[in-house]
Amino acid sequence: MLGNNKKSALGRGMESLLPKDFDKSILTSENERINKVSIESIQPDKNQPRKEFNQQSLKDLSESISVHGVLQPLIVTKPVNGIYTIIAGERRWRASKLANLKTLPVIVRNEEERNKLEIALIENIQRVDLSPLEQAKSVYELHKNFNVTYDEIGKRLGKSGKTIANNARLLQLPKEAIDALNRNDITEGHARSILSLSETPERQKELLEFIIKNGWSVRQAERWVVALKKIGLDSKTAHERIKTENPLTKKLGNIIEAPVAVKRTAKGGRLEISFKDEEDLKRIIDKLI
């Protein structure tokens, strides 16, 4: 098992990611906080960065809303001249218009509440004691509920938008991998290798089993993925390429009386010879030449 067994907050809701002194009442969605308002009295935020919406995705959501209704209330600002501005949920609003809904469930928040929550989530992402999945959860909440782009989050945290987006992708791991990451049976690096096989869930499960059963390093997991995706090997042959020792390395090791390992790459690899000190290195070189 990798690292200490740390109890994760993932799965206990966004409240577990917020400071203890934070007013959690603004997160609640009890019936008394949900209002139904005319869809015509709601407008999108003209300053929100997201401008393009996949039309097929909107149509699919519209069909679901026609059958099941809007399951998650929109978050809106207090009305100005009778008009509410969307803080979170523009996609649901657009799909609801396609479904010809007349009213929508909303939770009304003022700008101060919105800012307090956004700041609390940013502070959480900066905490050093958060697990990778807890960080991913905070990033996702900011991106989804406040329409903050990954690039914008990255600027606030001093990281690239690509790094932030990759962190959020951890939530797309299969349940078995999420559980393993929570238990520290695998690392974030292992998790990214598993994510890279998202088009083949059976391979994701297989890689997870190999990592845990064989104690593979992140590099070994990456080499297995490369062997599958770039070289096109089958799982068994890819597994063989991960081995750092074979009859030939053993033979060479016996000749030079030193450990020899092979590390394969997509187009070849390298031999690694271990030595104890400078004197041992000189002895090995003398044997080789």
The residues that are catalytic are 90
87: phi then psi, degrees, rounded to nearest 5: -95, -45
Q: CA–CA separation, 119 vs 37, rounded Å?
A: 28
Identify each DSSP E strand in 46-194 by its residue range: 74-77, 84-88, 103-109
Considering just the CA atoms, what is the radius of gyration of the chain in Å? 26
Whole-angstrom CA distances from 16 to 36, 47, 170 are 29, 30, 18
Distance of CA 100 to the CA centre of its chain: 35
Distance of CA 228 to the CA centre of its chain: 22
Q: CA–CA separation, 20 vs 122, rounded Å?
A: 15
Tokens for 208, please give them. 């997870």
Give the count of beta carbons closer than 10 Å to the beta carbon of residue 62. Answer: 18
